[in-house]
C-alpha cells in the first residue's frame, strides 16, 4: 500500500437542502475515522473535514461544486464515500436508510 497516495475528486452537492448539518456530521465521522488528512474545498476556502466548525463554513447549497481530497491508504474509498453522502446515499453504498430526515 502506498501511504502517500492522494485522491481528489470534484463533486456536486445533490442534496435538496444542500450540505446541511446532518450529512456534514456523517462526512465528519468518516473523515475522523480515516488515518490521513481529508479536505473539502469550495473555491478558495478549504475545510478540514475532521472539523465540524470548518465543514459548516462550506455553505454549499444544491448544485455547489466541491473538491474533496484525501491522502493515505484507501483515500479513493474515503472520497467515494463522501461523494455518496453528498448525493444523499449512505456512505457505504448500501440501500438508502430510513426516511427520517435531519436538517
Partner 1 sequence: MKLSDFIVADAVIPELKAGTKEEAIREMVGSLCRAGQIAAEHEQTIVSAIMKREELGSTGIGRGVAVPHTKHSSVGSLIATVALSSSGLDFASLDGENVYILFLLVSPPDRPGDHLRGLETITRHLKSDDFCRFLRQSRTREAIVDLLKEVDDQAGS
Minimum distance of partner 1 from residue 20's CB (angstroms): 6
Minimum distance of partner 1 from residue 57's CB (angstroms): 5
53 in contact with partner 1 (CB under 8 A): yes
66 in contact with partner 1 (CB under 8 A): no
Choice from 14, 20, 46, 77 touching partner 1 (CB under 8 A): 20
Q: Which CB sits closer to partner 1, 18 or 88?
A: 18
44's CB contacts (< 8 A; 6+ apart) are none
Q: Which CB sits closer to partner 1, 26 or 71?
A: 26
Amino acid at each position: 500500500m502506498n501511504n502517500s497516495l492522494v485522491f481528489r475528486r470534484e463533486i456536486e452537492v445533490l442534496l435538496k437542502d444542500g450540505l446541511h448539518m446532518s450529512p456534514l456530521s456523517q462526512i465528519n465521522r468518516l473523515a475522523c475515522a480515516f488515518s490521513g488528512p481529508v479536505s473539502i474545498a469550495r473555491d478558495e476556502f478549504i475545510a478540514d473535514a475532521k472539523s465540524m466548525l470548518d465543514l459548516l463554513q462550506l455553505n454549499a447549497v444544491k448544485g455547489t461544486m466541491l473538491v474533496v481530497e484525501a491522502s493515505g491508504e484507501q483515500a479513493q474509498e474515503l472520497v467515494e464515500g463522501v461523494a455518496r453522502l453528498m448525493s444523499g446515499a449512505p456512505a457505504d453504498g448500501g440501500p438508502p436508510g430510513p426516511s427520517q430526515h435531519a436538517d
